[in-house]
Amino acid sequence: MKANVILLTAGVALSIVSKWLQFRGKADIGDLLVFPAAVFLVLGGLFSWPQYQVWLNDQDTSGAAKMFGAAACTGIVSFQLMAWIVFGRKLDIGFLFLIPVFISIGGVVWFWIRLKS
């Protein structure tokens, strides 16, 4: 089985289990499962992209491709954490997690430019 199918399936499965746990009254565990689900979905999306596979398998661009993926995952997890704290816990301090979101977006753009050249 291809890596992208496994990652996407794991992400969707974790999302479903997360929602099921939230509806069953175990909101804290369900809320926490959203984070690995988001990472699996981002990585599944990246591995579904043929150009990312080329970058990852090329010895010259492999490191930048891995950092590209790490920056994308960091941005998604930071955004999920911000949304969970602000909207789920009703705490404005969660907006501080927008800082790593914007830094991660900058990292994604920087590595994208580096990989495209």
Mean pLDDT for all residues in the chain: 94
Average pLDDT over residues 83-107: 96
Q: What is the mean pLDDT of residues 34-57?
A: 95
Tell me the C-alpha distance between 106 and 108, whole Å: 5
With contact defined as beta carbons under 8 Å apart, do 17 and 33 qualify? Answer: yes
- Give yes or no for residue 35 having a pLDDT over 90: yes
Q: What is the mean pLDDT of residues 93-104?
A: 97
Percent of the chain with pLDDT strictly greater than 90:
88
Per-domain residue ranges of the chain: 1-48, 54-117
pLDDT exceeds 90 at position 27: no
Inform me whether the pLDDT recorded for 69 exceeds 90. Answer: yes
For the chain, give the secondary structure using H, E and C: CCHHHHHHHHHHHHHHHHHHHHHCCCHHHHHHHHHHHHHHHHHHHHHHCHHHHHHHHCCCCHHHHHHHHHHHHHHHHHHHHHHHHHHHCCCHHHHHHHHHHHHHHHHHHHHHHHHHC
Considering the entire predicted model, what is its pTM? 0.90
The answer to whether the beta carbons of residues 81 and 93 sit under 8 Å apart is: no
Phi/psi zone of residue 90: left (φ > 0), alpha (ψ -120 to 50 degrees), beta? left
More confident site: 30 or 113: 113
